[in-house]
């Protein structure tokens, strides 16, 4: 017996049409919606698979999930794996540390990097964490991490300007020469 898509409701039909033509939705969502749209037109599984460049197993999988769960069946299912292990107290101390100035904590730098943040937390707070996990937690807290260049922030050494000396241009100024039109006249 051939696998067919069930009769679609009006809401599902509109949702499938919208998703199958979307330019902003995730590519996998658009592909799954196109599978359902093609199957709803009465196209067989092998023809849908050949037209969209996917395997017949993939077409069957998405048809079965759509028949069972509707539009929600086209979303990715929850995957197995260990849940996050960072307790809220650690996340809040990470956030507080990032919002403070390193110089106020006695560190010889003017700004945080992920490496400095992880090293500080490991030494001072006795909380071990990888750089990547620190970045994930900050993004989850809604904080954007940027690489800050040292010349963009305040100087650590207050006598820096005096030690550096006067500023000067690195390129010598060019003397003006006669313009080319004078040679042609």
SS3 string, the chain, reads CCCCCCCCCHHHHHHHHHHHCCCCCCHHHHHHHHHHHHHHCCCCHHHHHHHHCCCHHHHHHHHHHHHHHHHHHHCCCCCCCCCCCCCHHHHHHHHHHHHCCHHHHCCCCCCCCHHHHHHHHHHHHCCCCCHHHHHHHHHHCCCCCCCCCHHHCCCCCCCHHHHHCCCCCCCCCCCCCCCCHHHHC
Given a cut of 70, whether residue 148 has pLDDT beyond it is no
The sign of the CA dihedral 14, 20, 21, 27 is positive
What is residue 116's predicted lDDT score, i.e. its pLDDT? 87
What is residue 93's predicted lDDT score, i.e. its pLDDT? 85
Q: What is the mean pLDDT of the chain?
A: 82
| Residue 181 pLDDT grade (very low, low, confident, very high; cuts 50, 70, 90) | low
d(CA 11, CA 24): 20
Q: How many Cα atoms are found within 13 Å in the side-chain-facing hemisphere of 58?
A: 15
What is residue 22's predicted lDDT score, i.e. its pLDDT? 92
Q: How many CB atoms within 10 Å of residue 31?
A: 17
Q: Please report, for the chain, the start and end positions of each structural domain, with discontinuous segments joined by +.
A: 10-74, 88-147
What is residue 90's predicted lDDT score, i.e. its pLDDT? 84
What is residue 132's predicted lDDT score, i.e. its pLDDT? 85
Minimum mean pLDDT range among 3-7, 103-107, 158-162: 158-162
How much is the pTM?
A: 0.48
What is residue 183's predicted lDDT score, i.e. its pLDDT? 55
More confident residue, 154 or 130: 130
**Residues 97-146: pLDDT tens digits?**
888 888 888 888 888 888 888 888 888 878 888 888 888 888 888 887 66
**Residues 20-36: pLDDT tens digits?**
999 998 899 999 999 99
Given a cut of 70, whether residue 74 has pLDDT beyond it is yes
d(CA 6, CA 89): 49
Displacement of CA 118 from its chain's centroid (Å): 21
């Amino acid at each position: 017996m051939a696998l067919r898509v069930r009769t679609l409701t009006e809401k599902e039909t509109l949702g499938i049409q919208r998703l199958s033509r979307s330019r902003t939705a995730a590519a996998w969502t658009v592909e799954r919606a196109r599978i359902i749209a093609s199957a709803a037109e009465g196209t067989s599984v092998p023809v849908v698979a050949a037209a969209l460049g996917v395997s017949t197993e993939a077409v069957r999988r998405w048809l079965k999930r759509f028949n069972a769960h509707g539009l929600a069946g086209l979303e990715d299912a929850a995957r197995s794996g260990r849940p996050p292990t960072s307790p809220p107290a650690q996340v809040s101390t990470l956030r507080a540390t990032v919002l403070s100035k390193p110089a106020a904590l006695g560190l010889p730098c003017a700004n945080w990097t992920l490496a400095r943040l992880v090293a500080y937390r490991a030494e001072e707070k006795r909380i071990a964490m990888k750089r990547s996990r620190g970045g994930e937690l900050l993004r989850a807290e809604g904080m954007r991490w940027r690489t800050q260049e040292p010349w963009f922030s305040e100087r650590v050494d207050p006598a820096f300007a005096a030690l550096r000396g006067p500023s000067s241009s690195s390129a010598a100024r060019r003397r003006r020469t006669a313009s080319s039109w004078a040679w042609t006249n």
